[in-house]
Amino acid sequence: MSPVVEIRIVKESNNPLLRRREILFEVPHPGKPTPSIAEVRQTISAMKGVQLDTVYIVSLKSMTGRQSSRGEAHVYYSPEHAAIEPLHVKIANLPPDEKKKMKEEIRKKKMEMKAKAVGGRR
């Protein structure tokens, strides 16, 4: 996986209450598709000199009519502080193969819970 060449930080603010830095960024990608969350996550981790498990890409959206995307990242002070990040964001930030496994596990658990709920009503 090749890291994204260029990420421009639009705004960066410190959030001491949640123990993280919140970064708004732009990724120009002329003639190329929107980069993956995993690529952007790796690049921000390298740019900020932090561990990969402290960086979470919360959103990444292509801008209509422009060959660039905008996004928001949370960079936590430590992996323990990142525990507050919602599960769907954590799953979206996983590498593709791990993401697929995690989604399948969640689907199985939901089916088991549904089966127990239906069985308990009779």
pLDDT digits (tens, 9 = 90+) for 94-107: 888 888 898 899 89
Residue type, 105: E
Residues 59, 7 share a domain: yes
Residues 99, 78 share a domain: no
pLDDT tops 80 at residue 121 = no
Q: Which of 10, 30, 16, 28 is nearest to 73 (CA)?
A: 10
Whole-structure pTM over 0.85, yes or no?
Answer: no
- Domain count along the chain: 2
Q: Report pLDDT digits (tens) over 12-56.
A: 999 999 999 999 999 998 888 888 999 999 999 999 999 999 999
Domain that holds residue 108: 90-122
The Cα–Cα gap between 16 and 21 comes to 8
Helix (H) or strand (E) holding 109: helix 96-121
Residue 13 token pair: 């603010």
Starting at the edge strand that comes first in sequence, how are the strands of the sheet with 68-76 ordered?
Answer: 8-15, 20-28, 68-76, 55-62
**Residue 6 in contact with residue 27, Cβ under 8 Å?**
yes
On average, the pLDDT of the chain sits at 90
Residues 60, 9 share a domain: yes
Residues 79, 31 share a domain: yes
